[in-house]
Amino acid sequence: MLVTGKEILQHADDHQYAVGAFNVNNMEIIQAIAEAADELRAPVILQASQGAIKYAGVEYITALVKTTAELIDVPIALHLDHGTDFEEIIKCIRNGFTSVMIDASKHELEENIRLTKEIVRIAHSVGVSVEAELGKIGGTEDQVVVSEAEATYTDPEEAKVFAEETGVDSLAIAVGTAHGVYKGEPKVDIERIKQIDSVVKVPLVLHGSSGVPYDTLENAVGAGIRKINIDTDIRASFAGAVKSFVSENPDEIDPRKILKPARQRMADTVKEKIKVFGSDGKAWK
Ligand code: G3H
Ligand code: ZN
């Protein structure tokens, strides 16, 4: 069942767990997440970045996710990840996304508020939920690149003002995670999550969550994180499985045989994450 981002995160907030938001680019990734969510009875968010939409086409992504939502009996939200372009965001809304992210975090506070408010007004008028970002999350996520020096943590008081003025449904915060593969162990500021959570009413989102130790993620959920984004770990599972299959079977040319173990490995990765986030068994319809 396709639901809005707001509905899925409201349930997580009411029951104190985090929903896994997994990045999708093709059918096999979507099927892997569907298998995991269905088996564990977990609500999930399937999210596509602007890069994924450029690669697969918005119509394919939308049709695949809508089909998934008809085939499996768990709540699913279709979300645009890191929307930086006004036209791209509108395109997703028109195509049936139930949630969009406006990422205007590279701008100064006032401009971030102005751009976010504009998207909130349009998206809410057609029942689509909105996530925004405050603070700058380091690393690279498709077209969003933030160097270590540019990365800045979210200020709790600013977050309060931002959430109230924009009317967003969820807020991505910068608390020490980064997009992509970590060089060392990430240091996540759990106290800051608690402080932000105590003054911001909407659910909080953790980006750059691949490679973050599981006890840290559990603490982040305990501190108030309600949506956890995973992309890199799915890519690594996909690429690792394809590489080992091809090196063991160099003469195989059947895409089905090459991709099947990759799909299975991605499903296993997603299942592991769902259990850590505490969303297993939480599907309410
Ligand atoms: O927006 C997507 C995520 O924040 C993914 O981050 O690639 O580090 O898992 P990740
Ligand atoms: Zn992200």
Active-site residue among 81, 142, 197, 233?
81
Q: Would you report the helix, strand and coil content of the chain in percent, each value rounded to 5?
A: 50, 20, 30
pLDDT tens per residue, range 152-202: 999 999 999 999 999 999 999 999 999 999 988 999 999 999 999 999 999
CA 22 / ligand 1 centre spacing (Å): 8
What number does the ligand 1 atom closest to the CA of 207 have?
Answer: 4
Q: Could you tell me if 217 and 233 are in contact, meaning their C-beta atoms sit under 8 angstroms apart?
A: no
Q: 114-118 contacts: CB < 8 A, separation 24 or more?
A: 116/162, 116/166, 116/168, 117/165, 117/166, 117/167, 118/86
Non-local (6+) Cβ contacts of 57 within 8 A are: none
**CA–CA separation, 113 and 135 (whole Å):** 12
Q: What are the structure tokens assigned to 98, written together?
A: 């139930």
pLDDT tens per residue, range 258-276: 999 999 999 999 999 999 9
What number does the ligand 1 atom closest to the CA of 235 have?
Answer: 7
170 SS3 class:
strand
pLDDT at 52 over 90: yes
CA 215 / ligand 1 centre spacing (Å): 18
pLDDT at 38 over 90: yes
pLDDT at 243 over 80: yes
- The H helix count followed by the E strand count for the chain is 11, 11
Q: Could you tell me if 64 and 31 are in contact, meaning their C-beta atoms sit under 8 angstroms apart?
A: no
Burial of 118 from C-beta contacts in 10 A (0-12 / 13-18 / 19+): middle
What number does the ligand 1 atom closest to the CA of 206 have?
Answer: 4
Residue of the CA atom closest to atom 6 of ligand 1: 208
* Per-residue confidence (pLDDT) for residue 33, from 0 to 100: 98
Q: Which residues of 181-198 are buried (b: 16+ CB within 10 A; e: fewer)?
A: eeeeebebbbebbebbbe
Q: List strand residue ranges (DSSP E) for 84-194, in order.
A: 99-102, 129-134, 138-141, 144-146, 170-173, 178-179
**CA–CA separation, 90 and 35 (whole Å):** 30
**Does ligand 1 have an atom closer than 6 angstroms to the CB of 180?**
yes
Quick check: is 38 catalytic?
Answer: no
Average pLDDT over residues 16-31: 98
Of 102-116, 149-163, 246-260, the poorest mean pLDDT is in 149-163
**Does ligand 1 have an atom closer than 6 angstroms to the CB of 179?**
yes
